[in-house]
Amino acid sequence: MLDLTPDISRTQSISPAAWELSSRDQQRNDERNTFASTFNRAKSDTPKTPQQEAREAAEGLVSMAFLQPILKQMRESNNTAAPFGPGKGEQSMRTMLDQAWSDNIVKNGNWSLVNRVEQRMLDRLGHGTKPVVGPQTTSLAPPAPTKPTITTLHTPQIANTTLPSQHTPTVTNLAEQAPPLRTNLR
């Protein structure tokens, strides 16, 4: 008959090298658990709020449209000699590295452009409740010209008068006003 009880006497004589291997295995298990928890967090079924979705989309857009081309151009301009230049592995993986770096830069920084894109997305979806950090401009067009009025002056004759909105200064030919140049050509 086969005895399946563990032999305790064998475990007491484990060498230090075996314990070291065991700690490496423990480290690998920790890394696997970290990866599994990250993967499960990304795969979770909890619905995201519109603000979270808009933030992630804005970060992805800024990362892909603005930072990745800059990083790509910087890498392509690297003309370092062979021992110090990029190897075949780096050349084949540089696009993924640029993507990871740009995503990390955008997520860890406070980019007003990301905040503005997020707010515009939320406004278009009708969820615009988050305050915008940064300038409050909505259009790139200059503001419409208005006629300025004077409302509070101490002189009653000038009060509530309108100023002309289109004042064109008189342009004179400076060459006519300047004295002639004297040159000595010897």
Token pair, residue 80, equals 């370092």
- pLDDT value of residue 106: 94
The 10s digit of each residue's pLDDT in 93-142 is 888 889 999 999 999 988 999 999 999 999 998 876 545 454 444 555 55
Main-chain phi, psi angles of 149, to 5 degrees: -125, 150
* Distance of alpha carbon 155 from the chain centroid: 54
Distance CA(71)–CA(20), nearest Å, equals: 41
Token pair, residue 160, equals 């509530």
Main-chain phi, psi angles of 162, to 5 degrees: -100, 145
Domain ranges for the chain: 50-78+90-132
What's the rounded mean pLDDT across residues 30-59? 79
CB-neighbour burial class of residue 99 (10 A; exposed 0-12, middle 13-18, buried 19+): middle
- pLDDT value of residue 84: 82
Within a 13 Å sphere around the CA of 151, how many CA atoms are in the beta-carbon half? 2
Number of other residues whose CB lies within 10 A of the CB of residue 178: 8
